[in-house]
Amino acid sequence: MQDNDKRYIGQIDLPLDKEGIRQAGSLQERLAGEEISTIYCSDLSRTLKTAEIIAAGRDIRIITRKDLREISLGEWEGCAFADIERRFPLEFKARGENIAYYRVAGGESFAECGQRVTAAFDDIMRCSTGNIVIVGHAGVNRLILCHLLGVQLANLFKIRQDFGCLNIIRCSNSGCQVDLPKDVISEYGCI
């Protein structure tokens, strides 16, 4: 995909493509030796399919949660970045300058999405036992990591989240520890 073809996807319910299926298969292989009690995912088909691939052939419960959905991008959903920049230059610039709090018409800001997602994460941690997997979206993952690491939301895109990546979070009574591979943090080193 060319940079000028990139689109705001957000909560559009797109199916997992061939590359996504391959990446989910890689996660399945990587997690094959791990005891997993539950997989949580959003109710969007791309995360549900990923969860199903990871759980294939194993007795793992899958729980979908609407509150784990990617950020809602409102009127920009499905639009090309370049088209939005051309049609709405002031709004495009304003969002870039205030990524944490800018809300696209009909959508939500990352701060609002973060409240929803971190409440879901905290609830999952309270009611889960054993090893769990959360199949997330890039924005959702970044919001959870910002929450756990104390990173300001203005820096959320400095945390790299490639499709099919794996973040390991170890939680205990004393809190959570994030084991981030060195390649997850961008060269800006916000953490």
Q: Does 35 score more than 60 pLDDT? A: yes
Q: Where in the chain are the domains?
A: 20-72+109-184
Query: Do residues 108 and 47 make contact, with C-beta atoms less than 8 angstroms apart?
Result: no
The answer, yes or no, to whether residue 91 has pLDDT greater than 80, is yes
Architecture of domain 20-72+109-184: 3-Layer(aba) Sandwich (3.40)
First vs last Cα of the chain: how many Å apart? 30
Torsion of CA 18, 166, 133, 151, to 10 degrees: -130
pLDDT tens-digit readout, 143-158: 999 999 999 999 999 9
User: Measured at the alpha carbon of residue 20, what is the angle toward residues 42 and 113, in degrees to the nearest 5?
Assistant: 30
> In the predicted model, is pLDDT for residue 190 greater than 50?
no
Can you tell me the distance from the alpha carbon of 29 to that of 142, in angstroms, rounded to the nearest whole number?
24
Question: Coil, helix or strand for 130?
Answer: coil
- Per-residue model confidence (pLDDT) at position 67: 98
Amino acid at 50: T
